[in-house]
Structures are given as C-alpha cells and as structure tokens.
Homo-oligomer: A and B are copies of this chain.
Amino acid sequence: MDKSDVIIIFDTTLRDGEQSPGATLNIDEKLEIAHQLARLGVDVIEAGFPIASPGDFEAVRRVAREVGQLENAPIIAGLARANKGDIDRAWDAVREAKRPRIHTFLATSDIHLTHKLKISREECVKRTGEAVAHARSLCADVEFSPEDAGRSDPEFLYQVLEVAIKAGATTLNIPDTTGYTLPSEFGGLIRGIRENVPGARDVIISAHCHDDLGLATANSLAAIQNGARQVEVTINGIGERAGNASLEEIVMTLHTRPQQFSMRTHVDTTQIVRTSRLVSAYTGIAVQPNKAIVGANAFAHEAGIHQDGMLKNPLTYEIMRPETVGLGESKLVLGKHSGRHAFQSKVAALGYGLSAEDLNRVFERFKELCDKKKVVADADIEAIVNDEIYQPMELWRLEHIQVSCGSGLRPTASVTLRGPDGVVREDAAIGTGPVDSVYRAINRIVQVPNELTEFSIKAVTEGIDAVGEVTIRIEPDAANGANGHGEGYLTQAGLRARTYSGHGADTDIIVASAKAYMSALNKMLTVVKAGK
C-alpha cells in the first residue's frame, strides 16, 4: 500500500473547517463549496458531522446526493463518534453517494479518557472494535481516528489500532488534535504505527494535523515521508483554533518538490485560488496577505532588489508560477455593453450553475453595476452572485434605507423592512456612526437582542468605485434571553457562544452593511425557528 505514489487528499473544510468560530455555513453554501472541491479534484470530502444537528445531517445528505453522484465523484465522508447512534446517522447521510465513507473516532490519550470521556483503556478498546465493526457492516469504506493520538501512549495506541483494523477499518487516521507535535515526532509516530501495528501496511495511514505551533504542513509532510498516504486538510487552513493543515501548502509542496517526494495528487492546482476565495467569502474568514500560496502578496514583490532580479529572471525569487495556482487570468472581462449571453458564459466559466431565475436576478444587478463602474471584474461578479444567491431564507426583507452623517453631525438612519407576515414597517434611529444608526433602526423593528462581535469591510477589486463586501458576525444576546433555544453553548474564558455570519455587497458600504446585518439576522432566526 505504501508503494503507491498517490497521496489521497481528504478535505475537511466542511467539517473541521466549519468548526472555526463564526464560520457557520448554510446548506447552499456547503453545496457550492462541495461542487468546487470536486472541481479542484480532492479525493474525499468530509461533508459534516450528521448527528450534530438536523441541519448538518441535511447538508451531508445533499452533498452525498448531488456532488457524490457526479461523474468521477469524490468519496463523501460523514463523521461519527464511536457509538451506534452516531454511526447509523452518518450512514443515512452519506449512503446516497456513489462512494460513501463512515469516519468514526474515539480518543486514546489518557488525558481525554480520564477527564473528558471518563472511561478506562479497556472500555476504549472495546468501543473501538464495536464501532468499527458496526460501521463496516453498513459501508465498505470505514475510517477510524484515535483522537489526540499525538499525546497517547504509543503501546496503547498500537493496540487500539490493531483492533480497528481487525474490525474492518480501511483507513487509520492519526490526528495531532492539539497541534503539539514536531515533524520529527509526528513522522516517528507514523513510522512506529506502520512498524508495530499488525496489518497497518494493508490499510491507508492518514495524517490530520493542527497548526497551533505553525507546524501543520511540516508535520503532514513528515507523515508522508514516513508512509502516510492520505492527508486531512482544509482550504486556507481554517479550522478550530489555529486551524488545520492547509490543502494548498501541502499540494504545492508536493508539486514544487517532485524529486523529494516522487508523489502526486489528483488536484487540479489551477483551481486553488478560486477555491480559496470561495471558502473565504462564505465562511467570512479572511486570508492574510502573507498566507503561503493563496495570500494576496504570495506572488508580489516590493523591494527594488527583488524587482530587479524578477525582471531579469523570475526564477531568482520565484519557485512557482502564479498561473499554476490559477492566478493572473483575465482580470477585466465585461462592461456596459455585454449582453445576457456573454454574461451567462462568464458566470458558467466562473463555476456557478445558476437557475434561469437566479441568473436573471444576478444579470439585473450586473447591469446596475455597469452603470456605476467602468470595468466589471471577475471578483465583482462573484461578489454579486454570492450576495444575491447564497443568502439565508429571507424572513425579513430590506426595502429601503437612507442615512446622513458627517463630522459633527448626529448619524441618522431611516429603514423600511418587510416582515415575515408581509407587513411593511419603518423606523429611524440615531447612532454613533452611520452603520450603528442603521442597525439600531433595524433593531427597533426586528427586536431580536443580539451582540455584534465582528464587522469588516473590504473592497473586492482595486479602484475608488469598487464594490464593498461586508462581513459581520452576531451572537444571540444571552443576557436578554434570546439564547434560550436549547443550544447550550457556554460562554466562558476561551469559549464562545454560537455566532452567525452575514455578508452583503454593494458599491454603497452603508447599504452593504445593512444587507449583511439582515443576512445574519435571517440566518439566526432561521436556525432558531428550525430548532437546530
């Protein structure tokens, strides 16, 4: 098995990535990302944790049904704790995929067994065997993960893994759950497993690394060098805390250093940047300019000395070509005189499959934008599509806003909303700034106490007339009783209540801010309604 020269790319953006604080995605967003992951060429999509909520279950089922049925569809995996209920639920969610996988996990470190699970080592071994055997009775493709393997006693870990193999696991995934290990240690852990666990050479060994010390990529590569043939990754390295190993860094290292690895992946590297942008837009998690591979500056050179070298020979300072990751393609595309057909082709080329009705709405927005902007770039079109199509159900609809502000003035907004009952209501408010005044006016109408935890705006293209994209996060205001819908998330040091993100795009950032707030409010109200 370790003779293979293919590294299996297991993408967990929709599961571990979505666990990032505030990254909550709705079903349509998850589906769109899953389609793009298929286009990118990942081998496995972990689509969610079906037992976690009805919404999670439905998202995994739709990914399995829609993306998992494509030609050359990736494997669709669902996560489950090591018990029958979780595993049955995961199976129900993934079974409609052409190639389903159940991924079940149980902690093996003493610290987790003692403090979190409160079970003995014997009980851990027993549960592992039972869970894997049950999963295998449902599905031919079963992955088992010993959580916190990096801090587990190796001898006990070997014992658990042997039981998992005997019970039918086809992939053993080794997580460094807390991002604690060094490359030499993590590589040694993988080697130790391959050498000491009977049957380990007949299954796929996988690495699942976290980036708490900035070592997730290096640890994953060390695992590959020691026999791992699957890596679990996310786009942009998002995930709990400092996130997971990032797909783009591992894939591009294998791609850039073939002599060192002699291994390949099925990833189409030219889809990397587009995937990165999609995930960043939907999760609201920004990519820093100096992020490897996908940061805005990853291929930019500022200093005179470097620029001089670059002009003489790009190889002096560049080890990859920007085109390889999908950067630098036609930036300028459509304008005022572009017809519906040209627009439709462009939207399709950008990877969106829109219904006729959605296309009409987006085309209308596009024509409005053409009146305001000389040049409409790909990023503008993506912002419009995201803004227009991938929004939560519209319980409350923004009909009109009007704002005046300035230095020494009292920022004042008036807002008109149409409610779920179809009734139009309007109100006005004064705030500390124009956005604050708009939000206060909306609050007077909607009356759902919440706290704004994050607010950011960026221009989606260069130029003074750019479209502004606003991302916000809100959380239900526990003090005012709005969190009483059974979520049970606790807010203590280091822990956060569940948050809801919203995005909005417009050339007027005040209008975009209002849209983003309505989007987050509607998302929160939908979840509360569904009792998610």
Contact = CB atoms under 8 A, between A and B. Distances in A.
Interface of A: 19-23, 52, 111-112, 115-116, 148, 177-180, 182-185, 211-215, 217-219, 221-222, 225, 236-243, 246, 249-250, 252-253, 256-257, 260, 285-293, 295, 297-304, 306-320, 322, 328, 372-373, 398, 400-409, 411, 431-436, 439-440, 451-459, 462-466, 468, 488-490, 492-496, 498, 506-511
Contacts of A303: 19, 240
A253 B213 contact: yes
A297 B496 CA distance: 10
Contact of A463 (B177, B298, B451, B493): B451
Given A403-B406, A406-B511, A493-B328, A452 B463 contact: yes
A112 B300 contact: no
B292 A285 contact: no
Nearest to A303: B19
A301 B406 contact: no
Contacts of A459: 452, 454-456
B451 A462 contact: yes
A470 to B, nearest CB: 8
Nearest to A517: B464
11 contacts: A21-B301, A177-B317, A180-B319, A211-B292, A288-B288, A302-B496, A322-B493, A402-B406, A433-B468, A439-B464, A452-B463
Contact of A302 (B20, B111, B288, B289): B20
Copies of this chain, count: 2
Contact of A319 (B21, B179, B253, B458): B179
Nearest to A493: B328
Contacts of A309: 112, 115-116
A381 B304 CA distance: 36
Given A314-B494, A436-B507, A492-B311, A409 B402 contact: yes
Contacts of A509: 433-435, 457, 509
Q: Which 8 A-B pairs have the closest CB atoms?
A: A218-B218, A214-B249, A243-B290, A402-B406, A433-B508, A115-B313, A432-B507, A288-B288
A405 B510 contact: yes
B241 A183 contact: no
A289 B249 CA distance: 18
Contact of A496 (B243, B301, B466, B510): B301
B404 A310 contact: no
Contact of A489 (B22, B307, B435, B496): B307
Contacts of A217: 213-215, 218
A491 to B, nearest CB: 10
Given A240-B302, A494-B314, A432 B373 contact: yes
A20 B452 CA distance: 32
A495 B300 contact: yes
A307 B242 contact: no
Contacts of A402: 404-407, 409
A197 to B, nearest CB: 25
